[in-house]
Amino acid sequence: TQLLEQSPQFLSIQEGENLTVYCNSSSVFSSLQWYRQEPGEGPVLLVTVVTGGEVKKLKRLTFQFGDARKDSSLHITAAQPGDTGLYLCSQAGNMLTFGGGTRLMVKP
Amino acid sequence: NAGVTQTPKFQVLKTGQSMTLQCAQDMNHEYMSWYRQDPGMGLRLIHYSVGAGITDQGEVPNGYNVSRSTTEDFPLRLLSAAPSQTSVYFCASRRGGQGKKKTEAFFGQGTRLTVV
């Protein structure tokens, strides 16, 4: 099983600040997904990245896949309280497995 | 469109009791999975299935059984509940086939289980 390490584990910031969270593996990803989970809910897909060096933008969220396809980052610009949640990276084959997550709290 | 439905939403068990967590999906997805999520943690894969009649172990399978007799249903059985199995359980489904590495997983609302 490919281990996914996410950092930081916890992040508490003020509204309007920027932040970056990371997902790393010792093995090459064939593809990587980012999910967001809000309290009391199941995770919801944000993005899938497939190609090394790929950059995808979703409003204020920017996702980057490393050139070697062993790491990925999620950057949030001007964070808002609605961004609060648990951010999970995952890799899928027959099994869909997840990293430990980054818990983000954005204070008004 | 219901998506992925889990029942019950909440359950309290005594140590040693058995129970079945239900999961059903109406999207005709081949792949289904069960996860547990402990407080402040990510999701750990318990068991998964790539189609009716096919199941396999995930990262933390001990103490749990699954079966997949139909495409729609994927129940999770706790054989003899232990306090260490107190957790929130999520079921997920997704399309399989050649796109399995890229397809979106859809999750149920979770079952919050407490074992006393």
Average pLDDT over residues B4-20: 97
Q: Distances from the Cα of B86 to the Cαs of A59, A65, B39, B44, B113, in angstroms? A: 37, 35, 10, 14, 5
Q: What percent of chain A has pLDDT over 70?
A: 98
More confident residue, B7 or A3: B7
Q: Which of B91, B93, B116, B115 is nearest to B104 (CA)?
A: B93
pLDDT at residue B97 is higher than 80 = no
A42 to B31: CB separation less than 8 angstroms, yes or no? no
Average pLDDT over residues A76-96: 93
pLDDT at residue B52 is higher than 90 = yes
pLDDT tens figures, B19-38: 999 999 999 999 999 999 99
pLDDT at residue A55 is higher than 80 = yes
Question: B104 vs chain A: nearest CA distance in angstroms?
Answer: 6
- Report pLDDT for B2: 76
A50 contacts A64 by C-beta, under 8 angstroms: no
Average pLDDT over residues A15-35: 94
B42 to A101: CB separation less than 8 angstroms, yes or no? yes
Nearest by CB to A97, which of B31, B45, B50?
B45
- Report pLDDT for B1: 63
- Report pLDDT for A2: 65
- Report pLDDT for A75: 98
User: Is cis: bond before B8, omega within 30 of 0?
Assistant: yes
